[in-house]
Structure 1
Amino acid sequence: MRFEIEFSGHENIRSNHQKTIEITKDSHLTPQGDCIIGVCANYACADLPQNLKDKLKNSNSIVTFSISVGDHNFTVEGKGHPDLILSHTDDIVIRKSDFVCPRTLAVNCDKASDLLPRKMVSLLQDPKTKGTFAITVD
C-alpha cells in the first residue's frame, strides 16, 4: 500500500534533528522546528485512511518513506507499532526511537532529518518548493 502527502517548503527549514523527521499542516515555522522538513502538508496522522493506520499499527510492518523534492529523493525505513495513536490533526513525525505519541507515524527509523541531503534542504528553504512524502507499507 502506498499513500502520498504533498507539502511545501519554508524559509526556516533547517533539517538538523538527529532523531526525527516531521511534516506539518501548519504554515508557520520557527527556526526551533529543526526536525520539520515541510509545511502546509495536505494530511496529518488523523487524516490518514483507516486501512493505512491498521497496517501501521502492526509491529511486523516495514514502512518505507520516500521524500521527493525536485530531482532529489531521500528514503527512510521504519517499523509499525501496535501502540500508535495516529490522531494528531496537524503533524506527522517519524522517529529513530520507539517513542509513541499522537504525532508518531513510525518508529525505529534508520534516518532522521539531519541526514537529508543539504541540496534538498536548500530547495526546501524556498516557500515555492513543493515536495512529496510517500508512505509505503509492506
Structure 2
Amino acid sequence: MSFFYSSIVKFEIEFFGHENIRSNHQKTIEITKESHLTPQGDCIVGVNATSSCADLPLELKNKLKNSNSKIKFTISVGDDEFILEGRGHPELILAHTKDIVIRKSDFICPRTLAIKCDKASDLLPRTMVSLLQNPKTKGTFTIDID
C-alpha cells in the first residue's frame, strides 16, 4: 500500500474590481479588503478581498516564511489568467489586516506576502484591467506553494 502526500499548499482569495483600478505600478501588486480606492493606488488590482495577510492560515504563513519556497500566484478574471512567481522569506511579518502586497523587490513590511516576484501590476493584461474597472467584476487571487 502506498500513500501520496502533497506538499503543495493552495489558498484562494476572492476580490472585486473598482472603477479606479489602474494596475500600472512597476514593482508591486496589491489586493485589499478595503472597498474604497483612489487613482493613486496604482498597484491595486482588486478590492473587497476575502482575506488579508493577517487572515492567512498558519500552514500557509509557515511556508511563506521559508526562503526556499517557490510561490506561484494566479490572478483569474473571467477566462483570463495572469501568472507570476515569487519567493518566501523568514522575516515576513504577514500581519496586515487589510492588504496583501507582492513585490519585485526584497522590501518587507506587515503587508508583504512575497518578495523577488518576476512581474508587477504594470504587466497585467490591459483586457483584464478593463474588466477590473467594473465594480461587479469578480476575480480570484490564488497562492500555490510547493
Q: Give the TM-score of the pair, scaled to structure 2.
A: 0.94
Q: How many residues align?
A: 138
Q: In terms of Rg, which structure is larger?
A: 2
1:15-46 per-position Cα deviation (integer Å, ceiling 9, x unaligned): 00000000000000000000000000000000
Q: 2:37 aligns with which of 19, 26, 29?
A: 29
Is 1:125 aligned with 2:133? yes
Per the alignment, residue 22 of structure 2 pairs with 14
Q: 1:94 aligns with which of 86, 91, 102?
A: 102
SS of residue in 1 equivalent to 2:38? coil
SS of residue in 1 equivalent to 2:42? coil
Alpha-carbon distance, 1:2 to partner: 0.5
Alpha-carbon distance, 1:11 to partner: 0.1
Q: 2:72 aligns with which of 42, 64, 70?
A: 64
State percent identity of aligned pairs.
77
1:109-130 per-position Cα deviation (integer Å, ceiling 9, x unaligned): 0000000000000000000000
Is 1:47 aligned with 2:55? yes
For structure 1, list consecutive stretches of 5 or more residues without a partner in the other structure: none
Is 1:111 aligned with 2:111? no
Q: Give the TM-score of the pair, scaled to structure 1.
A: 1.00
Alpha-carbon distance, 1:103 to partner: 0.1
Q: RMSD in angstroms over aligned alpha carbons?
A: 0.2
